[in-house]
């Protein structure tokens, strides 16, 4: 799913250097030193929870998160993003441990992230899951033509300090243009892998240790096999998966199963980064997902022990038969899922 295409998130960047130097970020009236102190404390606390370079899989259970924009606001402000997130948290009676973000690739060298929405995450104790769209051809990225942007982003992420996932060029296995991303060019999967490795290596060269690299294809009846795009175990910390019920399964298990079978031999923790179901059957869908991830009895006999994180896409999307945002029953089911001890770990 691409909220950048449907306009669900284009929040502006925060001036990180100003924040770190104690300058207020938003139009007067704030205490800059106090703001910087809160941010610094949050960074220290988050970093102490983590250890680097990768966000570890929980010793037991799974992380729990979402992207919340149920009204489908186009280009929401940071305040609107935070308000929607806090509303969902109030409805389910808990804080999210993971929070999704969507950022564009930019020309020049001005990073799109970290931004103010991620500062809100720090203060709330959430870990950002950064979705970074492609924007130039893979060949150009791999050749170093975009290094000013990549280096500047790496430096900003390093200065941010707190742990985050980055999933660059997610859903790369969908047909060109389907996800508003068309960066393959003639190099195909090999070019994608070269570009992924180049970005990874630039971040490493800049001394970035607070990123877990989330390789994240899509599950779809239209997709090409995702295996040719896998960059290799040395370049992937977590394996992500986006899968929506567009086939009337009314069950999470059949959506994930073939992908899980294909990639479980890598023994990497898996994060369900995006999933969605029509409101009429959300309750059953989430209850089955919970049982299947926890390894409890379920009608299909599914069991996904490598799934160490689950996130829901609480936004309209662009699927004609229905929207993905929560109905009342879905919200209640998500709350029940989040209340389970299995989903209490925090990165």
Active-site pick, 116, 171, 277, 294: 171
Clarify whether 82 is annotated catalytic: no
The residue among 315, 319, 291, 313 whose CA lies nearest residue 303 is 291
In angstroms, rounded to a whole number, what is the distance separating the alpha carbons of residues 174 and 177? 8
Confidence band for 35, pLDDT divided at 50, 70 and 90: very low
Higher-scoring residue by pLDDT: 304, 50: 304
CATH no. for 3-21+30-343: 3.20.20.80
In angstroms, rounded to a whole number, what is the distance separating the alpha carbons of residues 14 and 110? 11
Among 34-38, 258-262, 282-286, 328-332, name the one with the lowest average pLDDT.
Answer: 34-38
333 neighbors 87 (Cβ within 8 angstroms): no
Report whether pLDDT(13) > 80. Answer: no
Domain boundaries, the chain: 3-21+30-343
Tens-place pLDDT, residues 250-285 = 999 999 999 999 999 999 999 999 999 999 999 999
327 neighbors 282 (Cβ within 8 angstroms): yes
Higher-scoring residue by pLDDT: 11, 58: 58
Clarify whether 171 is annotated catalytic: yes
Tens-place pLDDT, residues 152-167 = 999 999 999 999 999 9
Tens-place pLDDT, residues 296-322 = 999 999 999 999 999 999 999 989 999
In angstroms, rounded to a whole number, what is the distance separating the alpha carbons of residues 79 and 41? 21
End-to-end distance of the chain based on CA atoms, in angstroms?
25
Higher-scoring residue by pLDDT: 175, 258: 258
Active-site pick, 116, 274, 292, 294: 274
Q: What does pTM read for this prediction? A: 0.86
By percentage, how much of the chain surpasses pLDDT 90?
A: 77
Dihedral angle computed from the Cα positions of residues 345, 335, 304 and 128, in that order, rounded to the nearest 10 degrees = -50
Rg (CA), the chain: 19
């Amino acid at each position: 799913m691409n909220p950048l295409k449907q306009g669900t998130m284009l929040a502006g960047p925060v001036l990180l250097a100003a924040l770190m130097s104690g300058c207020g970020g938003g139009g007067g009236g704030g205490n800059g030193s106090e703001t910087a102190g809160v941010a610094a404390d949050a960074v220290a606390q988050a970093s102490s929870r983590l250890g680097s370079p990768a966000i570890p899989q929980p010793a037991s259970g799974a992380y729990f998160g979402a992207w919340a924009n149920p009204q489908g606001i186009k280009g929401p402000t940071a305040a609107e993003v935070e308000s929607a997130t806090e509303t969902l948290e109030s409805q389910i009676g808990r804080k999210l441990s993971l929070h999704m973000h969507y950022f564009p690739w930019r020309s020049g060298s001005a990073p799109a992230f970290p931004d103010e929405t991620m500062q809100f995450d720090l203060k709330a104790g959430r870990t950002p899951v950064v979705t970074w769209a492609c924007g130039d051809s893979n060949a150009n990225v791999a050749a170093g033509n975009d290094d000013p942007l990549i280096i500047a982003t790496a430096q900003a992420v390093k200065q941010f300090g707190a742990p985050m996932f980055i999933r660059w060029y997610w859903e790369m296995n969908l047909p060109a243009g389907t996800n508003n991303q068309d960066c393959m060019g003639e190099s195909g999967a090999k070019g994608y892998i070269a570009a992924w490795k180049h970005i990874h290596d630039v971040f490493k060269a800049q001394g970035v240790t607070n990123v877990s690299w989330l390789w994240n294809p899509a599950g779809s009846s239209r997709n090409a096999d995702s295996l040719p795009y896998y960059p290799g175990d040395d370049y992937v910390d977590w394996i992500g998966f986006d899968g929506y019920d567009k086939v009337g399964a009314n069950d999470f298990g059949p959506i994930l199963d073939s992908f899980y079978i294909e990639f479980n031999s890598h023994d990497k923790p898996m994060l369900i980064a995006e999933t969605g179901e029509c409101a009429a059957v959300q309750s059953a869908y989430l209850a089955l997902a919970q049982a299947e991830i926890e390894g409890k009895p379920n009608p299909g006999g599914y069991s996904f022990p490598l799934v160490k994180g689950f996130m829901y896409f609480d936004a309209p999307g662009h699927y004609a038969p229905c929207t993905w945002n929560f109905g009342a029953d879905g919200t209640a089911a998500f709350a029940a899922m989040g209340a389970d001890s299995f989903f209490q770990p925090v990165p």
